[in-house]
Amino acid sequence: MNHFAIAIDGPAASGKSTLAKKLAEKLGLVMVNSGAMYRAATWKILSEGISPSDTAAVLALLDRTTFSCGRDGMLSTIALNGNVPPDDALRSPEVNANVSLTAAIPEIRTLLVDLQRGYLDHSSVVMEGRDIGSVVFPDTPYKIYVDASEEVREARRRAMGETDSLAKRDAADSQRKTAPLVVAEGAVVLDNSDHTVESGLAAMLEILRKQGLAWENEK
């Protein structure tokens, strides 16, 4: 199989999810939001009345929870014991406040990274997250790190109606022992502070061309 992965990493509210989705649409690829997987795990943990900091309870929950990945059209899905969590639940303040704790649990990362890699068994993907280029697909030549100033990211977060602390989230994601947020080796940094969606997408496509990606499915 000649399936390939385009790895899009970056901090919260940098615009990486929007650009990754537009890129996938442009190239006719499956878009995988790895963050939604960690949000789903966080939602499940909280819905069971468990604190993500209670590692023993979380691991016990994992033993009785089945995670399965699929897709709805060209977008990835994640189900827990056969149930897909509602989108509004995954973006709740409670999930926002706890997702970094969940993502720092090594056993959860191992489980979800295996599922993320499994997408390549079926199709090429645009996958966005925080460790895609560094951990999930370190060998892909197609890596972009989307960043933006803290002021711009804070404004975007407020526009989304979300009030969690970006500084706290950045520190948690960058300082965790397991798969911290880093600029992956070989990744090109795209400063998305002043881009529109259209110009940001154009910049991504130019980066990928320089990284050697050729495609036939551009729409």
Following DSSP, what letter does each residue of 65-105 receive, concatenated? --EEEEEETTEEEEEETTBPPPHHHHTSHHHHHHHHHHHT-
pLDDT value, residue 169: 81
pLDDT value, residue 176: 86
* Cα dihedral 108, 178, 105, 79 in deg (nearest 10): -30
pLDDT value, residue 218: 57
pLDDT value, residue 20: 98
pLDDT value, residue 219: 54
Give the CA distances from residue 183 to residues 9, 132, 186, 189, in Å, rounded to whole numbers and listed in that order: 8, 10, 8, 8
DSSP code for 205:
H
Give per-10-residue mean pLDDT for the chain (219 aa): 92 94 97 96 97 96 96 95 92 91 94 97 96 97 97 88 77 87 96 97 98 77
Cβ-based neighbours of 54, under 8 Å, separated by 6 or more? none
Give the CA distances from residue 200 to residues 18, 150, 182, 219, in Å, rounded to whole numbers and listed in that order: 10, 18, 21, 16
DSSP bridge pairs for 76: 71
| Chain centroid, CA 205 distance in Å | 19
Q: Mapping DSSP to helix (H, G, I), strand (E, B) and coil, where does residue 15 land?
A: coil
Give the CA distances from residue 12 to residues 124, 147, 150, 160, in Å, rounded to whole numbers and listed in that order: 24, 9, 10, 12
pLDDT value, residue 1: 57
This prediction has a pTM of: 0.92
Using CB atoms within 10 Å of the CB of residue 188, give its burial: 0 to 12 exposed, 13 to 18 middle, 19+ buried: middle
Give the span between the Cα atoms of 130 and 202, in whole angstroms: 22
